[in-house]
Amino acid sequence: MTTVLETDEHKALRAAVAALGTRYGREYLTKVIAAGAHPDELWSEAAKLGYLGVNLPEEYGGGGGGIAELSIVLEELGAAGCPLLMMVVSPAICGTVIARFGTADQKQEWLPALADGTRTMAFGITEPDAGSNSHRITTTARRDGTDWILTGRKVFISGVDIADATLIVGRAEDARTGKLKPCLFIVPRDAPGFERRQIDMELHGAEKQFELTLDDVRLPAEALVGDEDAGLLQLFAGLNPERIMTAAFAIGMGRYALSRAITYARERTVWRDPIGAHQAIAHPLAQAHIDLELARLMMQKAAFLYDSGDDAGAGEAANMAKYAAGEACVKAVDQSVHTLGGNGLTGEFGLASLITASRVARIAPVSREMILNYVSHQTLGLPKSY
């Protein structure tokens, strides 16, 4: 894929990460998944090379870049067949929120460790009874002296088993209005009352999803991220990078599947010419490539807006990028599997499991329909039905 709208540094970063990804590749990830392990070697090496903390401030050991750079890292690892899902959460959401809003102590404690990969942080907002309606979350934080007590449930939270802590979105009572306002808390993995249960997902991924119970989890005052009254702002500061990074994840996966299909279509010959000579095979692959390129363009726009400090503009663009990338990924994977005929479903080629994996980008972190709702209401000014 040719790249536009990128500096020479971006192009060099892309090439360097692609080289790292190629050294590990799909085979590495497949072995890790089969062993029920985690891609620790790749995670550490990417961190050591400065890729995981590329968006974090230099004074805390990061690269001083932004989501534009971090999304390049995730996309290229994905395109090599070995994406690191926790990048969406640990440096992108948690790192961003702490860097922008954390206290001096929180920054010191977490940012160098998130940047050098020695610690990771998961992110938990989704709840069983709220789902897409995050206004309905009921995880509640109440004061007990200077401590906070957290009670609630979360679902589908990725990587809680390997993360040193989870950034939990809860609600605390506003002393002035009595209304509940969102607040973010850093909950250590082994905090008493913080229980997790792995969800049986039909996904071939190294990162697992968990249902969480917070049963009167007692946290010190320092567990609250930043300012109690700025929770909503902080939350959105983290959600836009999450959407941009999910777009990168989806584009990387789509590119990986497509490259496997293209190689196959160039070689597989059942009539006179390779199957790639048939337009019924070639055109859908070309369309998939175009869709991925377009999605990347939107992702670059969203990252550019976000990194320039335009949170409102980035919100719309990040939603559109996530939508476009999710759809492009699903189509690219579907067409790639089809291109391989029966081999599309074999373990040897390993593409069929991407059919399920690609659907994640359509559902999480915000579903296709909720983005269409957002664009209908916010961008087009159409009335709301819910």
- The answer to the question of residue 112 lying near ligand FAD (CB under 6 A) is no
Q: Which stretch binds ligand FAD (CB under 6 A): 139-147, 277-285, 335-343, 357-365?
A: 357-365
CA distances from 137 to 125, 127, 152, 159 (A): 8, 6, 9, 21
Would you tell me how many other CB atoms lie within 10 Å of the CB of residue 50? 20
Q: Which stretch binds ligand FAD (CB under 6 A): 3-11, 186-194, 344-352, 366-374?
A: 366-374
The continuous run of DSSP H or E covering 113 comes out as: helix 104-115
- The answer to the question of residue 125 lying near ligand FAD (CB under 6 A) is yes
Give dist(CA 246, CA 122) in Å, integer: 15
Structure tokens at 174: 């506003």
CA–chain centroid gap for 297, Å, is 18
Q: Which stretch binds ligand FAD (CB under 6 A): 65-73, 118-126, 275-283, 288-296?
A: 118-126
- The answer to the question of residue 386 lying near ligand FAD (CB under 6 A) is yes
Residue 145-164 contact track with ligand FAD, rule CB under 6 A, x = bound:
-----------xxx------
Would you tell me how many other CB atoms lie within 10 Å of the CB of residue 374? 17
Residue whose tokens read 């391989």: 340
Minimum CB separation of residue 58 from ligand FAD in Å reads 28
Q: Applying CB under 6 A, which of residues 62, 102, 124, 182 lies at the interface with ligand FAD?
A: 124
- The answer to the question of residue 356 lying near ligand FAD (CB under 6 A) is no
- Rounded to the nearest 5°, which phi and psi values hold at 350? 65, 25
Q: Which is nearer to ligand FAD, 60 or 194 (CB)?
A: 194
Residues 80-99 close enough to bind ligand FAD by CB under 6 A:
89
Query: Is 164 in a helix, a strand, or coil?
Result: coil
Minimum CB separation of residue 116 from ligand FAD in Å reads 22
Q: Applying CB under 6 A, which of residues 24, 123, 194, 264 lies at the interface with ligand FAD?
A: 123
Q: Applying CB under 6 A, which of residues 33, 149, 297, 370 lies at the interface with ligand FAD?
A: 370
Q: Where are the beta strands (DSSP E) in the chain?
A: 121-124, 140-144, 147-158, 165-173, 180-188, 194-198, 209-219
Q: What is the DSSP code string of 251-294?
A: HHHHHHHHHHHHHHHHH-BSSSSBGGGSHHHHHHHHHHHHHHHH
Minimum CB separation of residue 8 from ligand FAD in Å reads 34
Q: Which is nearer to ligand FAD, 86 or 261 (CB)?
A: 86
Return the residue nearest ligand FAD (CB atom). 131
- b/e per residue 262-295 (b: at least 16 CB within 10 A): bebbeeeeeeeebbbeeeebbebbeebbebbbeb
- The answer to the question of residue 364 lying near ligand FAD (CB under 6 A) is yes
- Rounded to the nearest 5°, which phi and psi values hold at 277? -75, -20
Residues 209-228 close enough to bind ligand FAD by CB under 6 A:
209
Structure tokens at 93: 């959401």
Q: Which residues pair with 121 in a beta bridge?
A: 165
Q: Which is nearer to ligand FAD, 157 or 302 (CB)?
A: 157
Q: Which stretch binds ligand FAD (CB under 6 A): 18-26, 187-195, 313-321, 359-367?
A: 359-367
Residues 238-297 close enough to bind ligand FAD by CB under 6 A:
none
Minimum CB separation of residue 238 from ligand FAD in Å reads 11
Q: Which stretch binds ligand FAD (CB under 6 A): 22-30, 126-134, 244-252, 256-264?
A: 126-134
Minimum CB separation of residue 84 from ligand FAD in Å reads 14
Q: Which is nearer to ligand FAD, 296 or 362 (CB)?
A: 362
Radius of gyration of the chain from Cα atoms?
A: 21
Minimum CB separation of residue 131 from ligand FAD in Å reads 3
CA dihedral of 212, 218, 221, 227, whole degrees rounded to 10: 30
Number of DSSP helices (H) and strands (E) in the chain, helices first: 11, 7
Q: Applying CB under 6 A, which of residues 44, 132, 138, 376 lies at the interface with ligand FAD?
A: 132
Give dist(CA 292, CA 184) in Å, integer: 34
- The answer to the question of residue 126 lying near ligand FAD (CB under 6 A) is yes
Number of residues that bind ligand FAD (CB under 6 A): 22
Binding residues (CB under 6 A) for ligand FAD: these are 89, 123-126, 131-132, 156-158, 203, 209, 360, 363-367, 369-370, 373, 386
